[in-house]
Amino acid sequence: MTLEKRDLYRLPWSKNDNPIAWLEVTDICNLRCEGCYRQRLTGHKPLEQVKEEVLFFKRWRNPDNVSIAGGEPLVHPDIVEIVAFIAENGIKPVVLTNAAKLTPEFLRELTRAGLAGFTVHIDSHQGRPEWQGKSEAEHNELREYYARMIAGQRGLIAIFNSTVYPSTYHEIPDVVRWGRANLDKVDGLVFITYRTFDTEARVGIDASGEEVDASRLSYSTHGFDEEFVTSPEVYQIVKECAPEYEPSCYLGGTIRVDSFKWLIGVMVGSKHEMYGSAGAKTMELAMAGHHLLYGTYPAYVPQLRATPLLFLLAPWDRGVRQAMKRRLADVARHPGRLFDRIHVQTIGIIQAPDAQPNGQADMCDSCPDMTVWNGTLINSCRMDEYRLFSGMLSMAEKGKETAAEQTEASGEGR
């Protein structure tokens, strides 16, 4: 199946009206993920600074949720107070964590403070001491442990994300099948494609046109000769093991017209069968309706609120109509399933920044993961370029003239 943008809903998110705000509370972490964008430079942010950033988001971002990120946010000494402060401000606090520090007691404390849910990052390239050399399928045991723990607190959202490396791409179906088997506990899966700055092939150029040492970035490697995985490829492999999966909405790229930087599909099913995926109209109605009722676009909707309403959209949405027909056929064949609970589960695919021939990177258009930097909003995945080099780098292939050098040589700008 080929992805066509005209069949999908382009999410209406923008810089000033976006469901997600990315709050970085620390750059300290207790793991070492291969694909991490952050390195330890400044440590934990003081609570007062964190609160100021939350208020900044409230004023300039209009978020439905704040993604509390890092580093590893659960190692911040004031994390419970941070969660409570966000909730008091009428925004859903969602913790993005590797969960290594999560215990049932800690979970109860966070829930009492007003936590809305988690995005738990688990994959096989995180350097977890007891999981070295284990496959994605084997890591499902760890995913399941945390899924069960989170499900113990009713109403919490549980999303599981993993970075997709060229070497783990073929293991995606193992994670999708695990999500399917845990439909009652897992609200969504997210696959983020790995990208790196290859310092063997390219040099980094700062805003003044000077060459800088890009190997200082945690996301640089010296030599990378594998093919980066793209979102349409992730889509294809998900389809192979979950034919009922179909994305309904997307975000494109800031440079390329044909990139799918974010793809989101919402599957509908019961514990016995997956019925299909909601279509573009459902997403459009969900976005517009939520904005009309609550003043914000939604990013995370708990199953309890999403599910019963979904089949009502069948007259408008072909995907929901097809899912409803399969549901009715299933119940006709197995009347005992009439009272089966219906679940929704999202699968999101994110294609990280891609270097372009002009030296710039194709970023996610209307980036949902913008964070605060010096009184403005920047893409969180590039924040270390701001921290180390005062702004985003451009790239030049080694041995080729940079754009600045070309301009100088041609005499332009004199």
Nearest distance from C-beta of residue 364 to ligand SF4, angstroms: 3
Is the Cβ of residue 81 or residue 198 nearer to ligand SF4 in the bound state?
A: 198
Kindly state whether residue 119 participates in binding ligand SF4, applying the rule CB under 6 A: no
Residues in CB range of 388: below 8 A, 6 or more apart: 41, 216, 217
131-170 positions binding ligand SF4, by CB under 6 A: none
Diameter of the chain measured on Cα atoms:
79
**Spatial CA neighbour of 89 closest among 118, 121, 56, 122:** 56
Minimum distance from CB of 399 to ligand SF4 (Å)? 28
Helices (H), 47-103: 47-60, 79-88
Question: Residue 363 CB, nearest distance to ligand SF4 (Å)?
Answer: 4
Closest distance to ligand SF4 from the beta carbon of 245 (Å): 21
**298 vs 319 by CB, closer to ligand SF4:** 298
Q: How far apart are CA 265 and CA 248, in angstroms?
A: 5
Q: Which is nearer to ligand SF4, 317 or 365 (CB)?
A: 365
Query: Which stretch in 214-222, 228-236, 295-303, 373-381 sits in contact with ligand SF4 by CB under 6 A?
Result: 373-381
Q: How many CB atoms lie within 10 A of CB 301?
A: 19
Q: Which is nearer to ligand SF4, 160 or 260 (CB)?
A: 260
Nearest distance from C-beta of residue 259 to ligand SF4, angstroms: 11
CA distance 190 to 329: 30
Using rule CB under 6 A, residue 381 touches ligand SF4: yes
Q: Which of 182, 380, 394, 402 binds ligand SF4 (CB under 6 A)?
A: 380
What distance in Å separates the CA atoms of residue 261 and residue 254, rounded to the nearest whole number? 9
Q: Calculate the CA dihedral of residues 395, 193, 228, 280 and round it to 10 degrees.
A: -100
Q: Kindly tell me which residue out of 246, 330, 369, 384 binds ligand SF4, with binding defined by CB under 6 A.
A: 369
Q: Is 179 in the site for ligand SF4 (CB under 6 A)?
A: no
368 binds ligand SF4 (CB under 6 A): yes
Query: What's the CA gap between 132 and 241, in Å, rounded?
Result: 26
Binding mask 235-264 for ligand SF4 (x = CB under 6 A): --------------------------x---
Positions in 261-280 near ligand SF4 (CB under 6 A): 261
| Binds ligand SF4 (CB under 6 A): choice among 379, 384, 385, 404 | 379
- Shortest spacing between CB 251 and ligand SF4, in angstroms: 8
Nearest to ligand SF4 of 284, 384 (CB atom): 384
How many Å apart are CA 252 and CA 263, to the nearest integer?
9
* 363 counts as binding ligand SF4 under rule CB under 6 A: yes
In the complex, least distance from residue 131 CB atom to ligand SF4, rounded to whole angstroms? 25
Which residues lie below 8 Å from residue 57, measured CB to CB, with a gap of 6+? Answer: 21, 23, 63, 66, 91, 372
Which alpha helices (DSSP H) does 159-230 contain, by range? 172-181
**Beta carbons of 195 and 352 less than 8 angstroms apart:** yes
Length in residues, the chain: 414
Binding segment toward ligand SF4, per CB under 6 A, in 137-145, 179-187, 235-243, 375-383: 375-383
Q: Binding of ligand SF4 at residue 364 (CB under 6 A)? A: yes
CB 11 within 8 A of CB 291: no
For ligand SF4, the closer of residues 191 and 275 by Cβ is: 191
Backbone angles phi, psi at 262, to 5 degrees: -125, 135
How many other β-carbons are positioned within 10 Å of the β-carbon of residue 84?
17
Q: What does the alpha-carbon distance between residue 280 and residue 65 come to, in Å, rounded to a whole number?
A: 22
Ramachandran class of 85: left when φ > 0, alpha when ψ lies in -120 to 50, beta otherwise? alpha
124 vs 259 by CB, closer to ligand SF4: 259
Establish how many alpha carbons lie within 13 A of residue 38's alpha carbon, considering only the half-sphere containing its beta carbon.
22
Query: To the nearest whole angstrom, how small is the minimum distance from the Cβ of residue 163 to ligand SF4?
Result: 11
Examine residue 352 and tell whether it contacts ligand SF4 (CB under 6 A): yes
Task: Tell me the window of 24-32, 176-184, 324-332, 348-356 that interacts with ligand SF4 (CB under 6 A).
Answer: 348-356
197 — phi, psi (to 5°)?
A: -95, 110
**Residue from 367, 377, 388, 395 binding ligand SF4 (CB under 6 A):** 367
- Which residues make up the interface to ligand SF4 (CB under 6 A)? 261, 350, 352-353, 363-364, 367-369, 379-381
